[in-house]
Amino acid sequence: MSENGQKALQLPSIITVRDLAKVVDTSPIQVIKILMSNGVMASINQSVDFDTAAVVASELGFDASLETAEIETEEVETGEVPLWRKTIQSEDPKNLINRPPVVTILGHVDHGKTSLLDAIRHTTVAAGEAGGITQHIGAYQIEHKGRNITFLDTPGHAAFTAMRARGAQGADIVILVVAANDGVMPQTREAIAHARAARVPIIVALNKMDRPDANPDFVKRQLAENGLVPDEWDGDTLVVPVSAKQKTGLEDLMEAILLVTDSMKIEANPNGKVIGTIIESQIDRAKGVLATLLVQNGTLETGNIVVAGSAYGRIRAMEDFKGKKLRKAGPSTPVLVMGLNECPSAGDPFQVYELDREARQAVEAYKQKEQQKQVAVPSATLEDLFNRFKAGETRELCLVIKADVQGSLEPIINSLNDLEQTEIKIRILHAETGNISESDVMLAAASHGIVVGFNVQADSAARRLAEAEGISIRLYNIIYRLIEDIEKALKGMLEPVYKEVVIGKALILASFHISKIGTIAGCKVTHGEFRRNAKVRILRDDKEFYKGELSSLKHEKEDVREVRTGFECGMAFKGSPDFQIGDTVECYIMELATS
């Protein structure tokens, strides 16, 4: 029984009305009626998403939670064992020794992932070391009771998901941060599913225990309902109360990590094949490509030839997370490496090759494989989808719908359900109020669907992911246009319309000349944001005299991907336009027109 006296029930992320009726032990007609009273029109064979099913279940006396196990099996089937794990498995067991655990922190937004990473770093690393860590390289190591623990310092699951998606999960242990005053939330469930799919054990950090509204027992019950039964209830999940703000419970958390480490085999052969995972990378004008590598087997040395995807090079220099020069780095050590010819992607595996020729061959083989993949991976613009319909590859148009208010969502769903569905069916994967987020795009990407927004915006992370995955986000502010477009899409008549959308404005305050780069405009961003990859135009007295792209975007000498309102930055433009102090720069992107 749950908190409110309702019966606990696990539901999959998508369920047909018929199946839902079965699990809640009622007639399909009853389910359809409840759906209708909530503004959802669905027939007996149509599917509803988890959130919708949960509402129905709740009205019938059930407290539904997402069936994480189902997501797990789905993902495990498709997920590969990462290369580094395979390499370690293939080592002769007598050469294996214990290595520090690699820990990643996951959890719902605002539950305190960043605060916890900072608290751990400050209390355990910087103590006694004036200045502590001077640079963020995406990972750091701490010492607890004479033993090292490596933390991946990339909160949010972006890095972890990227790693998983490429079958190169880097972590040995996941710390799931759950705010004691907020409990299990959608991204908490998502994180549980990801960790399970990667077969990585979970330790729960019950954060914000200092808050007067912290309710640890309630959260523990929720965790148990999601398959994480706390050890104090005879389960096998360690649940450690902490406060990142007051820096309490951190010792216990480190203790828990070592306990879990000791119950697993976290090993590697320091003399074996050198292999690991890329944590992050960036370009530095002076130093070239800087990449953070996590060594997982063998020992990486300066002078080694490294290949990661299509990036390759001889390691010129290596530093640890404190900026200290290193010549060698053993298993579980994160290092900042200089010498690669291009930025490798986070989550890519890397390997060391003896010979330059072998390394070049590996890069070529990788490039060829990628080219084949590009041909094979179907993108999901409406137009591509129609081609796939025609080719008979798919019979569904999967939609993720976001609207400003419930009052707009309902008529949209109703009208979509009213559309004549011939051979091609509309399947609503998810419909919710709120702006379009990264997880909406991820959901659409998982089923080659598209994201439709009504009177909402897509946040920048969502736009970036959509661009990378080739997922279409279509924004509307008139319902019938939205419906009309979907109808056209079903018939394959949709033409994409693009327009320029200004996302940022800046004022040129200074101009400098730098020999290799050219003239740099010292600017202050006055509105929105500037993105390194977006397009720009320069205006003088409101008249445009340059339209092009940035060749460099810097904030305090660092190359950056974006700069927001209020910040100063240096911009260089392709084609060296003749700008002056006082000119305005606009940053814009091409977006599908809102109808």
Footprint on this chain of ligand GDP (rule: CB under 6 A): 107, 109-115, 155, 207-208, 210-211, 243-245
CB of 459 to ligand GDP, least distance (A): 14
Residue 169 near residue 180 (C-beta atoms within 8 A): no
CB of 119 to ligand GDP, least distance (A): 8
CB of 106 to ligand GDP, least distance (A): 9
CA distance 444 to 473: 10
The nearer residue to ligand GDP, 157 or 402, going by C-beta atoms, is: 157
CB of 132 to ligand GDP, least distance (A): 18
Residues pairing with 248 in the sheet: 243
* Block residue for tokens 């998403």: 49
- CA atoms lying within 13 Å on the CB side of residue 50: 17
The nearer residue to ligand GDP, 245 or 532, going by C-beta atoms, is: 245
The nearer residue to ligand GDP, 115 or 304, going by C-beta atoms, is: 115
> Which of 312, 311, 332, 333 lies closest to 322, judged by CA?
333
The nearer residue to ligand GDP, 208 or 220, going by C-beta atoms, is: 208
> Which of 52, 45, 43, 39 lies closest to 12, judged by CA?
52
Would you mind telling me the total number of residues written for the chain in this entry? 595
Checking DSSP bridges between strand 543-555 and strand 562-564, what pairing results, if any? unpaired
CB of 248 to ligand GDP, least distance (A): 8
| Phi, psi at 181, each rounded to 5° | -100, -5
The nearer residue to ligand GDP, 208 or 531, going by C-beta atoms, is: 208
CA distance 299 to 5: 56
The nearer residue to ligand GDP, 243 or 472, going by C-beta atoms, is: 243
The nearer residue to ligand GDP, 124 or 269, going by C-beta atoms, is: 124
CB of 271 to ligand GDP, least distance (A): 38
Distance of CA 70 to the CA centre of its chain: 21
The nearer residue to ligand GDP, 176 or 525, going by C-beta atoms, is: 176
Determine how many CB atoms are found less than 10 A away from the CB of residue 131. Answer: 8
CA distance 511 to 573: 12
| Phi, psi at 45, each rounded to 5° | -95, -5
The nearer residue to ligand GDP, 177 or 553, going by C-beta atoms, is: 177
CB of 214 to ligand GDP, least distance (A): 9
CB of 251 to ligand GDP, least distance (A): 15
The nearer residue to ligand GDP, 70 or 210, going by C-beta atoms, is: 210
Cα dihedral sign, 327-330-334-338: positive
CB of 51 to ligand GDP, least distance (A): 22
Tell me the DSSP string of 184-230: S-HHHHHHHHHHHHTT--EEEEEE-TTSTT--HHHHHHHHHHTT--B
First-to-final CA distance of the chain = 48
CB of 118 to ligand GDP, least distance (A): 7
- Token duo for residue 343: 């930025």
SS3 274: coil
The nearer residue to ligand GDP, 110 or 559, going by C-beta atoms, is: 110
> Which of 147, 148, 145, 170 lies closest to 157, judged by CA?
170
CB of 192 to ligand GDP, least distance (A): 15
Give start and end residues of each alpha helix (H) in 264-355: none
> Which of 181, 185, 179 lies closest to 244, judged by CA?
179
SS3 343: coil
